[in-house]
């Protein structure tokens, strides 16, 4: 158990819909990272928040957005879903900024039908 | 984007054999990490290497960072079924604000 909690574990939704994935970081960790893992693209970094502020952006689509709340939990919002958005979405957390050890949650498996 | 290519993509070996997984790039990384991911789980960090030429050992696993900090290898001695999983390398970008993950090597160790 990494200490990072992601909900829900599985999500099935239709194209065009909007979903919210939730992440609770390890106690004391200030950074939250979101990743997308698919068979053809591998593990892709989406976005990072540190203590409530966006710190880094990767390959995140404009249809996707995220935020980190004062209690440090984070949400990833995916809208206007397409079939190609089906993937595993991971949240990771770390104590500090980059170059510190990051702990991954178990992921949310999103299936868009 | 700084790309990391891993080879082989798939590896199936018998218990007790040795193996090496490679992680190569044309980019220089300030540090490199190796993770193992088991089915249904998130990646788990195994090691971080930061100095060109650095070698780190973790029981039966030996990690090496290339002198030019563009490549790395993971060598497993006497593989066990518990080593089965997806091995991912990840390099820290030059701007220091993200890790770029490799394409992954799926290892199966047959008892």
Task: Write out the two tokens for B44.
Answer: 């788990």
Q: Å from A74 to nearest chain B CA?
A: 17
Q: Is B42 on the interface with A (CB under 8 A)?
A: yes
Residues of B in contact with A48 (CB under 8 A): 97-98
Residues of A in contact with B102 (CB under 8 A): 42
Contact between A81 and A13 under an 8 Å Cβ cutoff? The reply is yes
Average pLDDT, chain B: 92
What is the Cα–Cα distance from B75 to B63, expressed in whole angstroms?
A: 6
pLDDT of residue A83 exceeding 80: yes
B40: Cα within 13 Å, side-chain hemisphere: 3
Q: How far is CA B66 from the centre of its chain?
A: 12
Q: Is A56 on the interface with B (CB under 8 A)?
A: yes
pLDDT interval class at B1 (50, 70, 90):
low
pLDDT of residue A100 exceeding 80: no
Q: Is A60 on the interface with B (CB under 8 A)?
A: no
Pick from A43, A98, A107: CB nearest B88: A43
Question: How high is the pLDDT of residue B2?
Answer: 66
């Amino acid at each position: 158990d990494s200490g990072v909690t992601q909900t829900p574990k599985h999500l099935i939704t239709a194209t065009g819909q909007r979903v919210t994935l939730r992440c609770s970081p390890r106690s004391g960790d200030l950074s939250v990272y979101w990743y997308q893992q698919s068979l053809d693209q591998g593990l892709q970094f989406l976005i990072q928040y540190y203590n409530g502020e966006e710190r880094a952006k990767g390959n995140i689509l404009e249809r996707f957005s995220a935020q980190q709340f004062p209690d440090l939990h984070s949400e990833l919002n995916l809208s206007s879903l397409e079939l190609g958005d089906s993937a595993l979405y991971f949240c990771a957390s770390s104590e500090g900024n980059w170059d510190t050890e990051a702990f991954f949650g178990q992921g949310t498996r999103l299936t868009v039908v | 984007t700084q790309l990391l290519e891993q080879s082989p993509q798939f590896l199936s070996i018998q218990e007790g054999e040795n193996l090496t997984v490679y992680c190569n790039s044309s980019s220089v990384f300030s540090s490199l990490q190796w993770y193992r991911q088991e089915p249904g789980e998130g990646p788990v960090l195994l090691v971080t290497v930061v100095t060109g030429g650095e070698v780190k050992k973790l029981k039966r696993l030996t990690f090496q960072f290339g002198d030019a900090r563009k490549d790395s290898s993971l060598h497993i001695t006497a593989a066990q079924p518990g080593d089965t999983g997806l091995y991912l390398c990840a390099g820290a970008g030059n701007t220091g604000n993200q890790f770029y993950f490799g394409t992954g090597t799926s290892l199966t160790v047959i008892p």
